[in-house]
Structure 1
Amino acid sequence: MTRLRYTGKATIESLREHNDALVLQSIAQGGRARTDVVRETGLPAATVSTIVSTLVERKLVREAGHAVSRGGKPRTLLELDDDHHRFIGVHIGRERATAQRLTLAGRLEQRASTAVPAEFDPAVIARLIRRVRTENVTAIGLSVPGIVAPDGVVRSAVNFGWNWLPLGAELAQRCGLPVHVVNDANAIALSEVAHSADTGPDLVLLWLGTGIGAGIVLDGRLHEGRGFRSGEIGHVDIGVALRCHCGLVGCLETVAALPIIIGDATPEVIARYASFADDNTTHALGKRVDRAAHGLARAVSMLTGALDVDEFVVGGPVTDDRIGPRLLAAVNAALAARVMSGFTPVRLRFSAFGEDSAVVGAAAHAIRQEFGVALTMVAEPPRTHAV
């Protein structure tokens, strides 16, 4: 599994890189002086002082005034240097691609989007990146569907028809910058980690859109699997007699993918259903939502039992869809009716950054790849959703 946060001192083999990331992680949480970093990391004061000086020279950290003194010499506080390094996060969706330029602390500076053509062309994404790029961009993070290898190759994206697409190398050549590619569900999981100061979080991110996937973080590590297929839950068998576009029968996506749930419902019907209207026009949509909710609850129960995780987050297009709150409420109701003995009750919530989660997570992935740690990005407030 890929380490996202550090919890202790390194071995001699990776001492310098590990401890640099450990100190940077501590400072990113905000309100830290050098003495606080020493206490949190367990590193000697001289080592922390040397690392901080190096991070200041690299324009990753800066001094941020003094803490309120309670007698004695005031402590000098440290913070992320938000004036130099910039990162571009990009998410490629089914119909649109979105790019944002973010600072090291997660402050949004510029946003742009474009339509994704039916015949995918990386040049479209390169042009989108140029719209938000500045000279001080350090790297680009790219969030995409499917199975993604560390070399930036999308090995398979069933719903997009991609196989062994070298997207990272293609865009790096076009843009002249490092491009770090990450699965979209993993990207949103990373945005949740970036929003939290917890050094060892356990969570499962459920991506609900045209496809269904999961980003799994265990003990602060992103679990990707040997073949980078971890979280491909859209094609697990939930016991329904429906054939999936992948060729199998019974896949979760046959009942819980967003287009399947919406079906032939018009925007007017969706609006009435979202407003809790209960009549002939909303009945069919309500049945599809209930069927999807029970399928998702079954999948979540399996993940809970297999992983012993009780924090489940929902991200993807469903967070911006009008049926999202009612679907989430229906899943939670189904889960409440089947709490396993000895397990904490599970309740799903929407991702902290809402529709921007995949873009923020892509940028967080690029930061992690460049500096070795998932920083706590505290600049942007969380998005909230009524449920």
Structure 2
Amino acid sequence: MSSGNPTVFRTLNERVALTLLLEHGGLTRAELEQHTGLSKASAAEVLRRLENSGLARKAGLKPGNAGPAAQMWQLDGSAALVAGVDLTTTSIEVSVADLTGRVLGVHTTDATGDVRRLLGETLDAAGFGLDELDQVVVGVPGVVEADGRRVRQAVQLSGWSGLDDLPENVRLENDVNLVAIRELQEHEDSSFVLFWVGGGVGAGVVLDGGLWRGVTGRGGEVGSVIVPDPVTNGRRYGQDGGPLGALLGAEPLAALAEAHGL
């Protein structure tokens, strides 16, 4: 039986250690051993590699109940800068954070046009340049290719251009999928559907702890699904009902509430 690839094991151990340091804010070597099952020597080696790569650093001492204080380790926030971008029909909002998730700058530009230009201007206003960032994720209300490089369909973004011509450090993702990914952090290995009502209607589908996109990448695109229309009883869209996205907007919901005496 194969003993496995040492490089793969090292990478997996480092990834787990980084995740634990992020979750707990800081750990001693002994605590890392407890969380991972690594030996004393292996845990020490993982921390050494993370420190040498600039991803983790020593962070003071943790007093022990018995015996000497233990060295604490935490993520080095300066190791990477990332940005989350919310692209809507009328604006672009940018939040810049370090590796620990600490928000360093936020800015919103109420305009549409060329995405790359306005992204750069909004980042400048937040105090950062696009080339300073290691990774940028742009949330869009539409269908995105699996590689995150191209928007396949986004009716609500007709006022934007240049979505297919973004730098290598920029990735696109469906906005509701991003919300589902965040929710998944609180419910690991679970299955759920996150239903979102905003400028449009969408869903983020998670199965067995993983985001489900569907064969065509349209998993969660429920806005065009035809459903019964209880308000107009077919007078607006016909006897078969209407698209869910239109029936669950702000105005239709207000009309539905009024129809029920609310």
Given the two structures, how large is their TM-score scaled by the length of structure 2? 0.79
Residue equivalent to 1:46: 41
Residue 28 (1) aligns with residue 22 (2) = yes
Residue 207 of structure 2, aligned match among 204, 208, 218: 218
Residue equivalent to 2:179: 188
Q: 3-state DSSP class of the match of 1:29? A: helix
When residues 60 and 205 of structure 1 are mapped into structure 2, their CA distance, relative to the original with a 3 A threshold, is farther
Asked whether the equivalents of residues 209 and 259 of structure 1 are also in contact (C-alpha less than 8 Å), the reply is: no
Distance between the aligned counterparts of 2:58 and 2:192, measured in 1?
33
State the shift of 1:206 in Å: 2.4
When residues 243 and 203 of structure 1 are mapped into structure 2, their CA distance, relative to the original with a 3 A threshold, is same
State the shift of 1:136 in Å: 4.7
Residue equivalent to 1:230: 219
Distance between the aligned counterparts of 1:21 and 1:180, measured in 2?
21
Consecutive unaligned residues in structure 2, runs of 5 or more: none
Q: Which has the higher helix share?
A: 1
| 1:1-387 paired onto structure 2 within 5 Å | 12=5, 14-30=8-24, 31-117=26-112, 121-132=115-126, 133-134=128-129, 136-151=132-147, 152-161=149-158, 167=163, 170-172=165-167, 178-193=169-184, 196=186, 199-240=188-229, 241=234, 242-243=236-237, 250-258=242-250, 260-261=252-253, 284=255, 286-287=257-258
Distance between the aligned counterparts of 1:287 and 1:213, measured in 2?
24
Tell me which of the two structures has the higher relative contact order, counting C-alpha pairs closer than 8 angstroms and 6 or more residues apart. Answer: 1
Residue equivalent to 1:294: none
Deviations 1:226-275 (A, max 9, x none): 3221111222232234549xxx953211211236446xxxxxxxxxxxxx
Highest Rg: 1 or 2? 2
Count of residue pairs brought into register by the alignment: 248
Task: State percent identity of aligned pairs.
Answer: 25
Distance between the aligned counterparts of 2:169 and 2:202, measured in 1?
26
When residues 68 and 204 of structure 1 are mapped into structure 2, their CA distance, relative to the original with a 3 A threshold, is farther
Distance between the aligned counterparts of 2:145 and 2:13, measured in 1?
27
Deviations 1:155-182 (A, max 9, x none): 111333499x872x5221xxxx511211
Distance between the aligned counterparts of 1:211 and 1:81, measured in 2?
39
Consecutive unaligned residues in structure 1, runs of 5 or more: 1-10, 263-283, 292-329, 331-387
Q: 3-state DSSP class of the match of 2:78? A: coil
Residue equivalent to 1:371: none
When residues 147 and 253 of structure 1 are mapped into structure 2, their CA distance, relative to the original with a 3 A threshold, is same
Distance between the aligned counterparts of 1:210 and 1:179, measured in 2?
24
Distance between the aligned counterparts of 1:213 and 1:147, measured in 2?
11
State the shift of 1:128 in Å: 1.8
Q: CA RMSD in A?
A: 3.2
Distance between the aligned counterparts of 1:43 and 1:70, measured in 2?
22
Q: Which has the higher strand share?
A: 2
Bigger drift between 32-41 and 137-146 goes to 32-41
Given the two structures, how large is their TM-score scaled by the length of structure 1? 0.56
